[in-house]
């Protein structure tokens, strides 16, 4: 039985991961910034008598982070796994994203994750073991239009994870990056709600195509438990890989991008019509996504 702390378990991938790991017998400290949003998790855990403990934790706040980690250590005396899952994804063209918006994204997706890592490393080092799972995205491997700020935060998380993995390897600690494709969770609606109107925007084509792709994703994207299963597998591996793609579309998107030059990726936006754009998309990323 492992002691696991997960951030952002009020919905989506965090919720699914908390339930999956608890059902497998791990003791799960399921954290969220607003415990009023714990109803689904609380009811399921009670009904199934799962070993889940709810913890209040806002990754944006240092005191909240250190307090939550202290609570786990006071109760258990050890921590085997941290899952850095909390994240936000307001889609926007770069020109339309204010400094405040960029800072908010980096505060949670990058600073929040690093804050959590710093809080758990002393105990993991003294244990001489532990696993840190950072939930990134395929957007941590490629930069789509209207996702530049989010993508930049996930590239940053991936870079920090890679360096960290080297630093802590001699201490017996493993670092794992999870890269989901499109997964049906509340984040998609929140992401699209942030997009500006395409009317009169200099980026109207990119905004419209982003809306179309993610509207399809809301219908046909993967289930959050698919990501939870990958996280469970990575944690269980004696020698985990650094990166795990999650979802069939993730493999197609990352593989397709790797086969393209930077210029081929950029000039996909040359098409005047959405039909032409999505025809090239389907050629570059065969069977990757259900396209409009
Ligand atoms: N869904 C996808 O297609 C997809 C694809 C690739 C990667 N991801 C990544 O997967 C992770 C989980 O996202 P999701 O899709 O499951 O979305 P979600 O359902 O919106 O879950 C995000 C979670 O993060 C929490 N959160 C946000 N800011 C926080 C903060 N400051 N402190 C603590 N918790 C905070 C949210 O809490 P509240 O309920 O309080 O807002 C929520 O519990 C994110 O890192 C996301 O970038 C998702």
In 3-state terms, what secondary structure has residue 58?
coil
> Which one of 34, 66, 110, 187 would you pick to mutate in the ligand 1 pocket, going by the greatest count of ligand atoms within 8 A of its CB?
187
Q: In this structure, which CATH number among 3.90.25.10, 3.40.50.720, 3.30.470.20, 3.40.50.970 belongs to the domain 3-191+222-248?
A: 3.40.50.720
Inter-residue contact 223 to 180 (CB < 8 Å): no
Inter-residue contact 50 to 110 (CB < 8 Å): no
What lines the ligand 1 site, CB under 6 Å? 7-8, 10-14, 32-34, 37, 57-60, 85-89, 108, 112, 135, 137, 180, 182-183, 185-187, 224
pLDDT tens across the length of the chain (292 residues): 999 999 999 999 999 999 999 999 999 999 999 999 999 999 999 999 999 999 999 999 999 999 999 999 999 999 999 999 999 999 999 999 999 999 999 999 999 999 999 999 999 999 999 999 999 999 999 999 999 999 999 999 999 999 999 999 999 999 999 999 999 999 999 999 999 999 989 999 999 999 999 999 999 999 999 999 999 999 999 999 999 999 999 999 999 999 999 999 999 999 999 999 999 999 999 976 777 7
How close is the Cα of 86 to the center of ligand 1, in Å? 5
Please report, for the chain, the start and end positions of each structural domain, with discontinuous segments joined by +.
Answer: 3-191+222-248
How close is the Cα of 132 to the center of ligand 1, in Å? 17
Interior angle at CA 285, CA 88 and CA 102, nearest 5: 20
Q: In what order do the strands lie in the sheet with 81-84?
A: 52-56, 27-32, 3-6, 81-84, 130-135, 173-180, 243-246
Residues 6+ apart with CB under 8 A from 208: 198, 274
Q: Report the 10 Å Cβ neighbour count for 265.
A: 15
Nearest alpha-carbon partner for 137 in 247, 12, 1, 279: 247
């Amino acid at each position: 039985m492992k002691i696991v702390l997960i951030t952002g378990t009020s919905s989506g991938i965090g919720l699914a991961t908390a339930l999956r790991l608890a059902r497998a017998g791990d003791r799960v400290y399921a954290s969220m910034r607003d415990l009023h949003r714990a109803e689904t998790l609380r009811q399921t855990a009670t009904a199934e008598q799962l070993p889940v403990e709810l913890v209040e934790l806002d990754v944006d706040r240092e005191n909240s982070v250190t307090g939550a980690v202290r609570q786990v250590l006071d109760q258990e005396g050890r921590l085997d796994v941290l899952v850095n899952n909390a994240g936000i994804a307001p889609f926007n063209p770069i020109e339309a994203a204010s400094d405040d918006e960029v800072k908010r994204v980096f505060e949670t997706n990058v600073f929040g994750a690093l804050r959590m890592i710093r809080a758990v490393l002393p105990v993991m080092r003294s244990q001489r073991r532990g696993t840190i799972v950072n939930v990134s995205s395929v957007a941590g491997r490629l930069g789509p239009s209207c996702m530049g700020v989010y993508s930049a935060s996930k590239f940053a998380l991936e870079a920090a994870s890679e360096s960290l993995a080297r630093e802590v390897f001699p201490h017996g600690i493993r670092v794992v990056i999870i890269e989901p494709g499109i997964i049906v969770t509340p984040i998609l609606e929140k992401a699209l709600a942030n997009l500006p109107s395409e009317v009169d925007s200099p980026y109207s084509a990119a905004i419209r195509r982003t809306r179309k792709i993610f509207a399809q994703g809301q219908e046909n994207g993967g289930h959050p438990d698919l990501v939870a299963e990958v996280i469970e597998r990575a944690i269980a591996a004696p020698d985990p890989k650094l990166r795990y793609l999650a979802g069939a579309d993730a493999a197609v998107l990352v593989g397709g991008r790797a086969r393209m030059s930077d210029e081929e990726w950029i000039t996909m936006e040359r098409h005047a019509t959405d039909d032409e754009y999505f025809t090239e998309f389907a050629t570059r990323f065969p069977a990757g996504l259900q396209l409009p």
